[in-house]
Structure 1
Amino acid sequence: MSQHELAKIYDPQAVEPAINEQWLSSDAFRPKADGDDAYCIVIPPPNVTGSLHMGHAFTFTIQDMLIRWQRMKGKSVLWQPGTDHAGIATQMVVERILDKEGLHRRDMGRERFLDRVWEWKEESGGTIVSQLKRLGASCDWSRERFTLDEGLSDAVREVFVRLYEENLIYRGKRLVNWDPVLETAVSDLEVEHDEEQGHFWHIQYPHADDPSKHVIVATTRPETMLGDGAVAVHPDDERYKDLIGKQLILPLCNRTIPVIADEYVDPEFGTGCVKITPAHDFNDYDVGKRHDLPLLNIFTNRAHIAEEDWIPEQYHGLDRYEARERMVADLEAEGLLYKVEDHQHKVGRGDRSHAVIEPYLTDQWYVDIKPLAEPAIAAVEDGDIKFVPQHWEKTYFEWMRNIQDWCISRQLWWGHRIPAWYCEDCDHITVSRETAECCGGCGSKKIRQDEDVLDTWFSSGLWPFSTLGWPENTEEMEKFYSTNVLVTGFDIIFFWVARMIMMGMKFTGKVPFKDIYIHALIRDAQGQKMSKSKGNVIDPLEIIGDYGADALRFTLAHMATPGRDVKLDIKRIESNRNFMNKIWNAARFVFMNRGEAKPDASIAPTQDVNRWILSELNSCTADVEQALTDYRFNEAAGTLYNFIWGSYCDWYVEAAKVALYGDDEAAKAETQVVMLTALDGWLRLLHPICPFITETLFQELHGADARLVTDNWSQSYSSDAQAVTRINRVMDVVSAIRSVRGEMNVAPGKRIDAIIACGAEVQADLEAEKKLLMSLAKLESVAWQDADSEVDGAAVAPLAYAKVYLPLAGLINVEEETARLNKNIARLDKDIAMNEGKLANPKFCGSAPEAVVAKVRTDLDEAKAKREEMTAAIKRLSSL
C-alpha cells in the first residue's frame, strides 16, 4: 500500500496477520544486545493443553502493554515465553484419547504412555502459542521454554537435591487429599468445597459391657465407620463422664473401640458424641495422634473397600458408595440405624476430576516450608516486593503465616519424576542429580526409582530463574534477574506467586520480581463466571476474527481496573471496533490532505488551534506515562480514548479544515505538519495497547521500512497555555450552541445568528478565533454584548464566563416544538415512575441479579436527566 492510498474501510483480518509476520521475521521482539537498562517479565506459562481463553487474553494484553512500552523507551526488553507441562491436566487429556482407543495407561506401561503424551504435546501442545501470537504478544519466541525441557528439568532436580540435603524435603506417611478417579494426592488448593444435599445417618453404638445401652453418633459418611478408632466426647460433658474409658461395640464389625475425652468435640452439636476415624478425616487424624489411636486405612487407591481382615468380608472390594448403601441397609436390619436426616453440607471435589475427595493415609514427599516462608514474608514486609493493589498483601500474609508443609508428590506418570531410588537390600533412599546406578548406602544395584512425579507447581515455582538458565550463572540471569513485574490473577497467589517468591529467595538470594500486579477476573456482562455449561463463554479467537485483536485488546485494557471481577460485554468490544474505525478514518483524512508535509516534533506553530493540539498531546503523554508507571491501565486507555476520539478526531480534525480548505497557504502548510505530528505522537502512545493498527498507520506515515514496535515511545512538543485557554473557550461556546440547536430541533445545516454576552478578555479570545467559531458552530453571524446584558426573544445557553443567545424566532415552530417536548416528557414520566417502583420494591432489589438492578438505576438516572433537559428546552422556547 503506497502513501495516500489507505483503504477506505479498516479490515483487521487483512492488516493484523501481515504486521505480525513483519515483527516475527525481523526479530523485533528480541532484547537489544547492547542495552544495559534491562526490563523483563516472565510469562505465566499457560498449560500446554490449553487454548486461549479470555483470562489469558486479559493478562497477556496487560503484560504486552508493559513490554511494548518499555521496549519503545529504549530498554533491552525480554518477555520470556513458555508453557507448563500441566501434569494432571495433560495426563487426563491423553487418557481420554486412549480411552476412545480402548487403551489404559496401566496396560501400556509407563514408557509407552509417556511416548504417547510427548507425541500429543508435539502435535497439539503449540496451539496456545500460535493463539498468543495472533493476539499480538511480543514475546521473544526464540527463547520459548517448556517446564519439562532438559535445562528446566536439571533445575528441578538441583532444587530437589539441595532441599533434601538440607533436610527441607522429607518423606512421610500423612493424611492427604486423595482423588480416587485420578488416583493421586492433590493439594488443599486443588479442592473445591461447595454446598451439596446429603444425609445425616444417626447410628447406635452399643456399650460393650451392656449391649442394651448405646450412644448415638451422626455421620455423613457411614462407610468410614469401618475405620473408626474411638468415639469422642467433651471432657466436661456430664452426660458421658461415666462412659470415658469404656468400650463400645463398633456396629457391623467384630471389634470394640474406646470412648475418649477431647476438647475438639462440641457438646452442643448433635448428641455430643463424635466418631473418630483417624485415617479418613483431617480433624480426626489430629485427635488420633493425641490419643495414640490406630490408623486404619479402609480404602484402596480407587476408593474401594480394602480387603483387610479387620473389615467384614461382605464389604471387600465395594465402591465407597456401594459400601455405604449396603452398610446402611445392614445397620437398619440390625436395628442400629436410629434415624436419617436430610443435611446440607460442604463437599470437597477435585477441581480437575470433580470426584469427591477422600482424606487418605499414604506415603508422600513434603517440603518443610516454614524456613522458606520466613524470608518470603520479610521480602514483602520490607517493600522489596510490592503488591498492586496493595490490599492483596493481607491475603498473602494470612496464607504465608499459617502455611503448612507442602505435599509435592503426585501419583502420576507425566511430570518431573522424583529423583529418589529405594534400595531393596538396606532400605536406604538415594537422592541424586543424575540417574542412580547403585545404592548410596550399601552399594547394591538392586534399586528402583520412585514412581511418583512432582507437583506441577514445584517446577512452576522455579520459572523466573530456571528459564534464564539457572543453576548456571548465565548472561541472561545476570542481566534480567530479578524480573520487573509479575502480572497474574488473585486466584493463584497461593498456588504460584508465593512459591516463586520462596524458591527465588532460597536459591538466588534475590526476589524473583519487584512488583506483583494482581488483575481482576473476567466475568460475563451479568457478572457470572464464564463456563461452557452456562453457555456464556466469550471466545477471544472468535472476537479477534469478528472485531480484530486491537479492539479486544483496547477493551481489556479499558477494563483493567483494580478489583476482584470485571464484566465483559460484547457491546464494549463493538464500541471499540468503532473506535478503531474512527482512528482509521481520521488517519485516512490526514493522509489525503497531507500534501508533501512530514511530521516535525520541533515545530513551533503560529496558529492557536495547532498550538492547542500539541499542548493537549503533551498533557496526554504525561498522563499516559504516569498511568502505565502506576499500573493504572484503564486510565491509560481512557486518557488515550478521550484524546484521540475527542480532542483529535472530533475537534482538531474539524478545526483543521478551516485552514486546509482556506486561502492562507502558510496556515495550511503549518496545519498539515501539525496534523501529521500529532497523529505520529498518539500512534506512539496507543501502540502498546493497539499494536496492529498503529504499526500499519505508522508505516503509512513514515514509509514501509519504518517499525513503530522498536521506535521511540514519546516526544516532547511545544506548549502554549494561552492557546489552550482560547481554544477551550471556543469549544465551550460551540458545544453550547450545538446543544441548543439539538434541543430546539434546528436543522443541522441551517446557519444561525449568535449573540455572546461576556467580558473583554473572553471576547478577545473568541474574536481571535471568530472564523473557527463560526465554522464549527455553523453561525451566520456573531455579535458581542457586555457580560451583564440580557437578550429578549432568544434561547440562552449559560456558561461559567459567558451567556450565548440564539435568536431562533422564525426558524422553528414554537408551538409544535413545545408539544413534541411535552409528549416526550410524558413518556419519560411513565419510565421514571416504573423504574422508581421497581427500586422501591425490596423483593425486586433482593432477588434480581445485581446487573439488572444496576441497569434500572442507570435507566432512571438517564430518564431524569433527559427530563431536565427537555424542561429547560421548553423554558427556552417560552422566551421566543
Structure 2
Amino acid sequence: MEKTYDPHKIEQHWYKIWEESGYFAPSGKGEPYCIMIPPPNVTGSLHMGHAFQDTIMDALTRYHRMRGFNTLWQPGTDHAGIATQMVVERLLEREGKTRHDLGREKFLEKVWEWKAHSGGTITRQLRRLGASVDWSRERFTMDEGLSRAVREVFVRLYEEGLIYRGKRLVNWDPVLHTAVSDLEVIAEEEKGHLWHIRYPLADGSGHLVVATTRPETMLGDVAVAVHPEDERYRHLIGKAVRLPLTDREIPIIADDYVDPEFGTGCVKITPAHDFNDYEVGRRHDLPQINIFTPDARLNDNAPPRYRGLDRFEARRKIVADLEKLGLLERIEDHVLKVPRGDRSGAVIEPYLTDQWFVKAGPLAEEALRVVKEGRIRFIPENWTKTYYQWLENIEDWCISRQIWWGHRIPAWYDADGNIYVGRSEAEVREKHHLGDRPLKQDEDVLDTWFSSALWPFSTLGWPDKTPELETFYPTSVLVTGFDIIFFWVARMVMMGQKFMNDVPFRDVYIHGLVRDAHGQKMSKSKGNVLDPLDLIDGIDLESLVKKRTAGLMQPQMARQIEQQTRKEFPGGIPSYGADALRFTFAALATTGRDIRFDLGRIEGYRNFCNKLWNAARYVFMNTENQDLEGEAEPTPVDRWIRSRFQQALETVIESIESYRFDLAAQATYEFLWDEYCDWYLELAKVSLAEGTPAQQRATRQTLIEVLEAFLRLAHPIIPFITEEIWQKARDITGIDGDTIMLQPFPLPDETRIDTEAESEVAWLQQFILGLRRIRGEMNIAPGKPLPVVLQDGSRDDRERVERWRPYLERFARVESVRWLEAGETPPEAAIALVDELKILIPLAGLIDKEAELQRLAKEITRIEKELPRVEGKLKNPKFVEKAPAEVVEKERQKLMDLKSRLMQLRKQKARIASL
C-alpha cells in the first residue's frame, strides 16, 4: 500500500473497473430493490443538492446490493423544456438570431445538437461521485420509449375526460411567451407602492377609494367588491361606479373574499389578471376582460391612448392621468411579493389563455387514499401533512407550454376548429375517417412535469409489460427535496395509481436544502455556490474567483463576490476526494429542513479517511506474511473490540434502515476513530509484543478480521477507499471475491457480544483516562513516569490492577503502584476515580510548584481580560440584533467556555497552592 492516501490515484481507477465489470446491473437474484434517480436537467451540472441526494441513493443501493437484494438504481436525465430552450435561444442570440428565424424543425435540430454536446456533463460528474447506477439502462425523457408512454397517457386521460382544453388563468411569462408552473415562479419581497384611486359612483353621489399595487390592470376591472357585513358600504351593494379613464360602468358587489381591515375595504375585481379575482368573477358570473398581449403590452381592450404600451410604461401614464383628473387620492410605500419567472426573471402575469388541463380532482383522491392507508410512508413523517394540504386543495393542472422543446401535444385541428386526439396523425385519421382532410398539430408542448410524473414506470418499459416493470415496480424509495413534493411526488403517485394501479414507491425520503456555512441558500447571484467537483478535485483561488463571477445576471455583484471569495478561500479549495465529500453528506443528513455545509466538516472527514488508511497500513504490516492459522487465544482486548464492532454494526444497520444516515455515519466514525484506532490498535501492541504465540495469533486475526468487516460496513458511504484497502485485506484473509461491492454486508452476531470483556476494558479505559486528565490539569509531561497510590478499591480492583499492569505501564507511563495501608494518611495528591477506587498521584517533587502557580496566574489574568470584552459585545443591542444568528450564538458559547475555564483554573491554582 502507498504510504499516503491519495484519492485521485484510486477513485477513477476503481469506478472504471466497477462499470466495465457490470457490477452496477441487477443480479437477477434476491428480493427486488429499486430507486429511480430524480432526473437532473440534461444540460445541467451537478450541484450540491444533487451530490447530496445521489450520495444517499448510492449508499442505499450499495447497502441493499450487499444485503443480497436484486438492486436497480435507474439513471436518466430530464429534457427540462423551458430551461434547455432558453440556453439554446441565448446561444442563437449571440449570432443575432431568434428561434423564429430558424423555424421549429431547424431549432429543434439545434437543441438536439446542444443536448449531444453538453448532455454528458452530469453523467460524468455522477461517475466521479461514485454513483453505482446501471448505466446500461440510462433513459432520457425525450427517448422514443418514454415519448410513447407520454402520448399513451395523454390519449387515455383525454378519452376518460380527465384532460380538456379550456380558457383559464395561468402564470404567464411575457418574455418566454409561455405558461409556467407554480414551481417556476419565485415570489420575493420587493419595495413597491399602493395607489389609492377614487372610483366615482355612477349616480354622482360620491366615490369609493380602491387601493391597488397594479394600477395598469384597472382597465380590465369588471366590479368593485366590499365585504357583505361592512356597514360602511352595505347601502352601496348593487349600485355601480364609473371606471376611471374608460366609459364603462361596473357594479359594486358583496363577497366574503374582501378583508374589511385591509386598505379601504374596497377591492377592484379584475378576473382576467388576478387569481383571486378570477374566483370572485366565477362566483358572480362576471365578464373577463384581458387587456394584455402575450408580451405584456396593452391590447385593443384598453382605451386607444394606452394601446401598445408596455405594462410598466402604461402604469406611469395611467397614474399621471388619474392625478390630472383628481382621482389619485394618495400613494404610499408598500412591500409586496412580486412573482418572477425563475428562468427569465420577468414579472409573471396572471393571463387568460386557451390551455390544456388535467382534471386533477379524481386523480388526487386516489393519491390521498394510498398515503392515508399507509401504502406510502413519508420520512420524516411530518411531510405527510404538506402532501395532504396540497392534494386537498388541488387545482386543475395546466399542462401546455408555448415553447418548442418538449413532448408535442398529440392533438390535431381541422379547418373548422374540431380537435382530434390520438397517438399519431395516422391513428386520428383512421379513427375519425378523415381521409385527406387537412389537419394541423397543436403547436404547444407538455409541461416537463407531465413526463416526469411517469418516470417510475415509463423508464421500465411501460406501456409494454416488460420483465423489468414486473420486477421493479413499485420501486422501493424515492429520495427527493421537500421543494418538489407537490410538483413531482404527488403527480407520480397520481399517475402510478392511475396507470399501474399501484403506488410508484413504498417510501419517500425527504431531505433538506443544502445551504452554505452561514445558513444562506446557495445561489450564483450570492456568489456562494460550491461545485461538488471542486471539493473532490480541488481548485485554485484564481479559477474559483473566475468561476463565481462569470455569467452573473447582475454583473455589478462581481466585485463583492470576488472579495468574499478571496476572504473565505485564500488558498482556493484543497482536494478532498469523493469519499470525504460523501461521508460529509451522510453526516449532515439529519431530519431538518436545512443542511449547513461547512468546509471544516469535509476537512474532518478527509482526516477520517487518512486515519482509516494509516490504520490499514499498520494492520497489514502486522498481519501480512504472518502466522494466522492454528491455535488462537483471544485476549480480553480482542474480545472487547469484536463486541464493540457488533454494537456499532447494529447501530449502523438500524440507522440506514430508518434513513438516519447521520447516525450511521456517526457510529461508523466513532467506532473506527475512538475505539479501533485510539484504543484497540494501541492496546493490541501489548499482546503482539509480550503475548504467547496463541495470543499473538488471536490478536493478528482480530486486527485483520475486524478491519475487513469494518470495510464492508463503511463501503456504502465511502466506496473507493474501502475497495482499495479491501483488495489487500482479501489477499491476507483468503476471502473469495473480486470486489467488496458484491461481498455480504456484515450482520450482527449476538454470540460476539461480550459484556465481561466490555466491562474489563471500560475499567482500564477509565483508569488510563483518569491519569491522562491529571497530567493535563497539572501540566505534567506525557513521558514523565507516574508513581500511583491506590485507595478504597475492591478485591476485583486489586485483581484488575495486576491483570492490566503491562497496559498501565505502557499506556499510562505508570512507574510504580502502591496500595494505602488501612488507617494510613493519604499524601497531598491529585485524584482520579474509577467507581469506588481512588487513584492518587502524589504531587510533591512531581511538579515545580512556583512555576506552575505562575503559569496558572498568567492564564487566569488573560481570561479575566477577555471576559469583559465578550460580555460587552453581547450587551450591545446593535451586535445582538444585526449580526448573523450563528455569530451571536458563537459569542455566547465563547462566554460560557471562558467562565467554565476560569472556574477550573482557579480551583487548580488553589489545589497547587495548598501543597
TM-score (norm 1): 0.95
Q: Distance in 1 between matches of 2:703 and 2:459?
A: 45
The answer as to 2:679 corresponding to 1:645 is no
* Match of residue 491 from structure 1: 483
Q: Deviations over 1:717-770 (max 9, x none)?
A: 734221111111111111111111122222222222222332111232332121
* Match of residue 741 from structure 1: 775
Q: Distance in 1 between matches of 2:653 and 2:254?
A: 66
Q: Distance in 1 between matches of 2:375 and 2:628?
A: 43
Q: Deviations over 1:393-437 (max 9, x none)?
A: 111111111111111111111111111111213x32111122346
User: Which amino acid is the alignment partner of residue 857 of structure 2?
Assistant: N
User: Which amino acid is the alignment partner of residue 310 of structure 2?
Assistant: D
Q: Distance in 1 between matches of 2:103 and 2:615?
A: 64
Q: Distance in 2 between matches of 1:790 and 1:419?
A: 98
Secondary structure of 1:547 counterpart: coil
| 1:585-596 equivalences in 2 (<5 Å) | 585-596=614-625
The answer as to 2:90 corresponding to 1:70 is no
- The 3 A distance-change label for structure 1 pair 610 and 242 is closer
User: Which amino acid is the alignment partner of residue 201 of structure 1?
Assistant: W
Match of 1:322 among 292, 297, 313: 313
Secondary structure of 1:673 counterpart: helix
Moved more, 685-694 or 602-611: 602-611
Match of 1:791 among 823, 826, 833: 826
The 8 Å contact of residues 631 and 694 in structure 2, kept in 1 or not, is answered as: no
Match of 2:243 among 229, 250, 258: 250
The answer as to 2:19 corresponding to 1:24 is yes
User: Which amino acid is the alignment partner of residue 47 of structure 1?
Assistant: N
* Match of residue 518 from structure 1: 510
* Match of residue 10 from structure 1: 5
Q: Distance in 2 between matches of 1:607 and 1:401?
A: 63
Moved more, 260-269 or 502-511: 260-269
Q: Give the superposition deviation at 1:231.
A: 2.4
The answer as to 2:490 corresponding to 1:478 is no
The answer as to 2:746 corresponding to 1:714 is yes
* Match of residue 609 from structure 2: 580
Q: Give the superposition deviation at 1:835.
A: 3.5
Match of 2:297 among 304, 310, 316: 304
Q: Distance in 1 between matches of 2:229 and 2:911?
A: 83
User: Which amino acid is the alignment partner of residue 369 of structure 2?
Assistant: A
Match of 1:178 among 156, 172, 177: 172
* Match of residue 87 from structure 1: 81
Secondary structure of 1:638 counterpart: helix
Q: Deviations over 1:171-230 (max 9, x none)?
A: 1111111111111112233322222111122223334444x8433322211111221212
| 1:334-733 equivalences in 2 (<5 Å) | 334-425=325-416, 427-436=417-426, 439=429, 441=432, 443=434, 445-545=437-537, 546-597=575-626, 605-662=633-690, 664-703=692-731, 706-715=738-747, 716=749, 718-733=752-767
The 8 Å contact of residues 633 and 695 in structure 2, kept in 1 or not, is answered as: no
Q: Distance in 2 between matches of 1:519 and 1:267?
A: 41
Q: Distance in 2 between matches of 1:810 and 1:201?
A: 86
Moved more, 785-794 or 439-448: 785-794
- The 3 A distance-change label for structure 1 pair 587 and 785 is farther
User: Which amino acid is the alignment partner of residue 304 of structure 1?
Assistant: R
User: Which amino acid is the alignment partner of residue 281 of structure 2?
Assistant: G
Match of 1:51 among 36, 45, 51: 45
- The 3 A distance-change label for structure 1 pair 793 and 253 is same
The 8 Å contact of residues 125 and 533 in structure 2, kept in 1 or not, is answered as: yes
Q: Distance in 2 between matches of 1:374 and 1:230?
A: 35
The 8 Å contact of residues 597 and 673 in structure 1, kept in 2 or not, is answered as: no
Q: Give the superposition deviation at 1:287.
A: 2.2
Q: Deviations over 1:279-334 (max 9, x none)?
A: 1112222222233322111111111111x2x4222222211111111222222233
Q: Distance in 2 between matches of 1:326 and 1:350?
A: 26
- The 3 A distance-change label for structure 1 pair 118 and 688 is same
Secondary structure of 1:661 counterpart: helix
* Match of residue 853 from structure 1: 888
Q: Distance in 1 between matches of 2:216 and 2:42?
A: 39
* Match of residue 36 from structure 2: 42
Q: Give the superposition deviation at 1:132.
A: 0.8
Moved more, 116-125 or 224-233: 224-233
User: Which amino acid is the alignment partner of residue 634 of structure 2?
Assistant: T
* Match of residue 540 from structure 2: none
Secondary structure of 2:526 counterpart: coil
Q: Deviations over 1:455-497 (max 9, x none)?
A: 1111111111111111111111111111111111111111111
* Match of residue 867 from structure 1: 902
Match of 1:196 among 190, 194, 203: 190
* Match of residue 3 from structure 1: none
The 8 Å contact of residues 793 and 809 in structure 1, kept in 2 or not, is answered as: yes
Moved more, 822-831 or 581-590: 822-831
Q: Give the superposition deviation at 1:596.
A: 2.2
Q: Give the superposition deviation at 1:793.
A: 2.5
Q: Distance in 2 between matches of 1:603 and 1:664?
A: 11
Secondary structure of 2:216 counterpart: helix
Q: Distance in 2 between matches of 1:532 and 1:351?
A: 13
Q: Give the superposition deviation at 1:120.
A: 0.5
Q: Give the superposition deviation at 1:22.
A: 1.4
* Match of residue 784 from structure 2: 750
Moved more, 106-115 or 846-855: 846-855
- The 3 A distance-change label for structure 1 pair 103 and 603 is farther
Secondary structure of 1:593 counterpart: helix
* Match of residue 772 from structure 1: 807
Q: Give the superposition deviation at 1:808.
A: 3.4
Q: Deviations over 1:794-822 (max 9, x none)?
A: 22112323221112322320121122123
Q: Distance in 2 between matches of 1:604 and 1:461?
A: 60
The 8 Å contact of residues 792 and 879 in structure 1, kept in 2 or not, is answered as: no
The 8 Å contact of residues 599 and 680 in structure 1, kept in 2 or not, is answered as: no
Moved more, 797-806 or 686-695: 797-806
Q: Distance in 2 between matches of 1:677 and 1:641?
A: 18
Q: Give the superposition deviation at 1:599.
A: 7.8
Q: Give the superposition deviation at 1:130.
A: 0.7
Secondary structure of 1:363 counterpart: strand
User: Which amino acid is the alignment partner of residue 498 of structure 1?
Assistant: A
Q: Distance in 2 between matches of 1:802 and 1:267?
A: 76
Q: Distance in 2 between matches of 1:829 and 1:452?
A: 73
User: Which amino acid is the alignment partner of residue 15 of structure 1?
Assistant: I
- The 3 A distance-change label for structure 1 pair 267 and 663 is closer
- The 3 A distance-change label for structure 1 pair 377 and 790 is farther
The 8 Å contact of residues 795 and 879 in structure 1, kept in 2 or not, is answered as: no
The answer as to 2:855 corresponding to 1:820 is yes
Q: Deviations over 1:483-518 (max 9, x none)?
A: 111111111111111111111111111111111111
Q: Deviations over 1:206-261 (max 9, x none)?
A: 34444x84333222111112212122334444544554444433222233333333
Secondary structure of 1:806 counterpart: strand
Structure 2 residue ranges without an equivalent (≥5): 538-574
Q: Distance in 1 between matches of 2:860 and 2:580?
A: 37
The 8 Å contact of residues 774 and 782 in structure 1, kept in 2 or not, is answered as: no
Q: Distance in 2 between matches of 1:741 and 1:611?
A: 30
The 8 Å contact of residues 152 and 466 in structure 1, kept in 2 or not, is answered as: yes
- The 3 A distance-change label for structure 1 pair 586 and 788 is farther
The answer as to 2:837 corresponding to 1:808 is no
Q: Deviations over 1:584-603 (max 9, x none)?
A: 11111111222424889x99
- The 3 A distance-change label for structure 1 pair 520 and 630 is same
Match of 2:148 among 144, 154, 174: 154
- The 3 A distance-change label for structure 1 pair 240 and 866 is closer
- The 3 A distance-change label for structure 1 pair 92 and 788 is farther
Secondary structure of 2:525 counterpart: coil
